[in-house]
Amino acid sequence: MPRNDVTRVSQNTLMLLSGTACRLVFSFAFVVYVASLMGLKGFGTYSLGIHYFELFLSLTATAIGIFITREAGRRPGRLSDLLSHGLVLVAALSVVAAGIVM
């Protein structure tokens, strides 16, 4: 691999690492701030709701991703239809999940 490619890959990796580190630091600071602001019971309720919402969203997005990948392999000409219908379905299911959590 030429030297400029190694430098570019190293810089890109460093940017990804620094972005992940910043996200983790800000997430930790946010959790500490919200926990101190809301108290034990309020933060527990908030945390339970957020985690259920993220669980439902990740399950639906993963299932739709697998389905779209399979169907796009079968019928590549319908990829735009599959993506638009999948987006609508994931959005609707996340709204339903948010309603259930509330």
Name the pLDDT band for 22 (thresholds 50, 70, 90): very high
pLDDT for residue 11: 92
Angle between helices 3-74 and 79-101 (to 10 degrees): 90
Residue 97 and residue 53 in contact, taking contact as beta carbons nearer than 8 Å: yes
Reply yes or no on whether the pLDDT at 1 is more than 70.
no
pTM summary value? 0.55
The residues near 90 (Cβ < 8 Å, ≥ 6 apart) are 57, 60, 61, 64
Residues near 102 by beta carbon (within 8 Å), at least 6 away in sequence: 49
* Helix or strand run (H / E) with residue 78: none
pLDDT digits 0-9 by tens, 25-78: 999 999 999 999 999 899 998 888 888 878 877 887 788 888 888 988 898 888
Give CA torsion, residues 78, 81, 71, 88, to 10 deg: 180
